[in-house]
Amino acid sequence: MTTDTSNLANTQIHKVYIRATAQAIWDAITGPEWTVRYGYGGYAHYELQPGGALTINPDEQMIEGSKAMGWELPDVIIDGEVLEVDEPHRLCTTWRMLMDPGTAAEGFSTVVYDIKEYEGFCSLIVTHELDNMPTLAAMVGGENGDPGSGGGGHPWILSDLKSVLETGHRMSESA
């Protein structure tokens, strides 16, 4: 996987190659039964039409992990609006992280998922526009520490997504 974080304050581009179909990757990004299986977990709900809502709710493991660290999660940890849908190749949304007061105050960013199919595999490029959002940029760029403490950002999530789609297991699970 490649990650360009040279301009953390503005745009991040994360690219990974996955041995899966474009539809399988799309389903894993947009289906709550999938999103809970990789990265930090949580249930992503998309109304897949322009103007539709994006909400991500924490799963039980995330709720318990946060309580163990001494803080409560809101019922919705990320919200946004669907801007563009071209299933299974492109999804564009606004995106606001509500589980941290600093990131919530920075407002909405834009996230674009581009999936390109090749013979036997796909590329997945996640472009995150982060103008004037230094706290969020550091978090989603994986600059805040190790993945076990919530610091892996997009690189961690995409690597785990790849692992789940290719092996059926999270990176942290034995096969």
Rounded Cα–Cα distance for residues 175 and 168 (Å)? 8
- The confidence score (pLDDT) of residue 82 equals 98
Query: 138, 155 in Cβ contact below 8 A?
Result: no
Rounded Cα–Cα distance for residues 76 and 152 (Å)? 20
* Tokens standing for residue 33: 């039964």
Burial of 78 (0-12, 13-18, 19+ CB in 10 A): buried
pLDDT in tens, the chain (175 residues): 554 444 445 899 999 999 999 999 999 999 999 999 998 889 999 999 999 999 999 999 889 988 998 888 999 999 999 999 999 999 999 999 998 888 999 999 999 999 999 999 999 999 999 999 998 898 888 876 555 555 678 998 999 999 999 999 998 776 5
Domains of the chain as residue ranges with CATH: 2-167 (3.30.530.20)
- The confidence score (pLDDT) of residue 5 equals 47
pTM (2 d.p.): 0.89
- The confidence score (pLDDT) of residue 144 equals 62
- The confidence score (pLDDT) of residue 151 equals 61
Query: 61, 170 in Cβ contact below 8 A?
Result: no
Query: 20, 165 in Cβ contact below 8 A?
Result: yes
Query: 153, 133 in Cβ contact below 8 A?
Result: no
Rounded Cα–Cα distance for residues 56 and 5 (Å)? 24
- The confidence score (pLDDT) of residue 45 equals 98
Backbone angles phi, psi at 35, to 5 degrees: -60, -25
b (16+ CB within 10 A) / e for 4-23 = ebeebeebbbbebebebbbe
Rounded Cα–Cα distance for residues 48 and 73 (Å)? 26
- The confidence score (pLDDT) of residue 138 equals 86
